[in-house]
Amino acid sequence: MTYIVTEYCEKCKYTDCVEVCPVEAFHEGPEMLYINPETCIDCNACVEECPVEAIYADVDVPEKWEHYTQLNADKCDEYPVIIESKDPLPTARTLEEIQSSGV
Protein backbone atom coordinates (compact mmCIF):
# COMPACT_ATOMS: atom_id res chain seq x y z
CA MET A 1 0.00 0.00 0.00
CA THR A 2 1.04 3.58 -0.59
CA TYR A 3 -0.49 7.00 -0.18
CA ILE A 4 -1.72 9.20 -3.03
CA VAL A 5 -1.97 12.97 -3.33
CA THR A 6 -5.21 13.90 -5.11
CA GLU A 7 -7.11 16.83 -6.61
CA TYR A 8 -7.43 19.03 -3.53
CA CYS A 9 -3.67 19.62 -3.61
CA GLU A 10 -3.81 21.11 -7.12
CA LYS A 11 -3.07 24.83 -7.12
CA CYS A 12 -2.64 24.69 -3.32
CA LYS A 13 0.56 22.80 -2.57
CA TYR A 14 0.47 22.95 1.20
CA THR A 15 3.65 21.29 2.42
CA ASP A 16 2.74 20.37 6.00
CA CYS A 17 2.88 16.71 4.92
CA VAL A 18 6.48 17.00 3.76
CA GLU A 19 7.71 17.89 7.23
CA VAL A 20 6.37 14.67 8.80
CA CYS A 21 7.40 12.21 6.09
CA PRO A 22 10.18 10.03 7.55
CA VAL A 23 11.39 8.74 4.17
CA GLU A 24 11.35 11.80 1.87
CA ALA A 25 8.62 10.33 -0.36
CA PHE A 26 7.22 13.67 -1.57
CA HIS A 27 8.07 15.25 -4.91
CA GLU A 28 7.23 18.83 -5.82
CA GLY A 29 5.63 19.75 -9.12
CA PRO A 30 4.70 23.29 -10.15
CA GLU A 31 1.09 23.06 -8.91
CA MET A 32 0.95 20.14 -6.48
CA LEU A 33 2.87 17.49 -4.58
CA TYR A 34 3.18 13.80 -5.39
CA ILE A 35 4.06 10.73 -3.30
CA ASN A 36 6.55 8.24 -4.66
CA PRO A 37 4.96 4.79 -4.26
CA GLU A 38 8.40 3.17 -4.22
CA THR A 39 9.57 5.32 -1.30
CA CYS A 40 6.38 5.56 0.79
CA ILE A 41 6.38 3.24 3.82
CA ASP A 42 2.65 3.54 4.55
CA CYS A 43 3.15 5.26 7.88
CA ASN A 44 0.03 7.45 7.49
CA ALA A 45 1.78 10.49 9.03
CA CYS A 46 1.05 12.73 6.03
CA VAL A 47 -2.71 12.15 6.02
CA GLU A 48 -3.39 13.98 9.28
CA GLU A 49 -1.09 16.87 8.34
CA CYS A 50 -2.80 17.75 5.06
CA PRO A 51 -5.04 20.75 5.75
CA VAL A 52 -7.18 20.09 2.67
CA GLU A 53 -7.55 16.30 3.05
CA ALA A 54 -5.89 15.62 -0.30
CA ILE A 55 -4.02 12.44 0.71
CA TYR A 56 -5.55 8.96 0.69
CA ALA A 57 -4.32 5.41 1.06
CA ASP A 58 -4.25 3.93 -2.44
CA VAL A 59 -7.08 1.55 -1.53
CA ASP A 60 -9.24 4.46 -0.34
CA VAL A 61 -8.82 6.91 -3.23
CA PRO A 62 -12.29 7.99 -4.38
CA GLU A 63 -13.19 6.47 -7.74
CA LYS A 64 -13.35 9.87 -9.45
CA TRP A 65 -9.68 10.43 -8.52
CA GLU A 66 -8.26 6.96 -9.22
CA HIS A 67 -6.15 8.37 -12.06
CA TYR A 68 -4.06 10.17 -9.42
CA THR A 69 -2.56 6.83 -8.41
CA GLN A 70 -0.68 6.49 -11.68
CA LEU A 71 -0.13 10.25 -11.90
CA ASN A 72 1.73 10.24 -8.55
CA ALA A 73 4.01 7.43 -9.73
CA ASP A 74 4.69 9.09 -13.08
CA LYS A 75 5.32 12.59 -11.76
CA CYS A 76 7.79 11.40 -9.14
CA ASP A 77 10.12 10.45 -11.98
CA GLU A 78 9.75 13.96 -13.36
CA TYR A 79 9.99 16.21 -10.29
CA PRO A 80 12.50 16.58 -7.43
CA VAL A 81 12.10 15.41 -3.86
CA ILE A 82 10.91 18.06 -1.41
CA ILE A 83 11.96 17.72 2.24
CA GLU A 84 11.22 21.12 3.77
CA SER A 85 7.99 23.01 4.20
CA LYS A 86 7.35 26.02 1.96
CA ASP A 87 4.60 28.58 1.68
CA PRO A 88 1.54 27.32 -0.23
CA LEU A 89 0.74 28.73 -3.64
CA PRO A 90 -1.08 32.08 -3.77
CA THR A 91 -4.06 30.17 -5.20
CA ALA A 92 -4.29 27.88 -2.15
CA ARG A 93 -7.74 27.51 -0.63
CA THR A 94 -8.96 26.16 2.67
CA LEU A 95 -10.79 22.84 2.85
CA GLU A 96 -14.02 24.72 3.47
CA GLU A 97 -13.50 26.84 0.33
CA ILE A 98 -12.75 23.76 -1.76
CA GLN A 99 -15.76 21.83 -0.48
CA SER A 100 -18.15 24.75 -0.93
CA SER A 101 -17.02 25.15 -4.55
CA GLY A 102 -18.37 21.67 -5.34
CA VAL A 103 -15.07 20.21 -6.54
Q: Per the domain annotation, does 87 fall within a domain?
A: yes
Residue 101 within a domain: no
pLDDT of residue 103: 60
Q: What is the 3-state secondary structure (H, E, C) of 4-20?
A: EECHHHCCCCCCHHHHH
Work out how many domains the chain is built from and give that number: 1
φ/ψ of 10, rounded to 5, equals -60, 130
Tell me the percentage of the chain whose pLDDT exceeds 70. 98
Domain assignment of residue 91, given as a range: 3-96
The per-residue pLDDT of the chain, averaged, comes to 96
Per-residue pLDDT, averaged over 20-34, amounts to 97
Q: Is 49 a member of any domain?
A: yes
Rounded Cα–Cα distance for residues 97 and 73 (Å): 28
Q: Is there a domain that residue 78 lies in? A: yes
Nearest Cα residue to 2 out of 51, 68, 49, 53: 68
CB burial of residue 96 (10 Å; 0-12, 13-18, 19+) = exposed
Prediction pTM value = 0.94
User: For residue 82, what is the domain's CATH number?
Assistant: 3.30.70.20
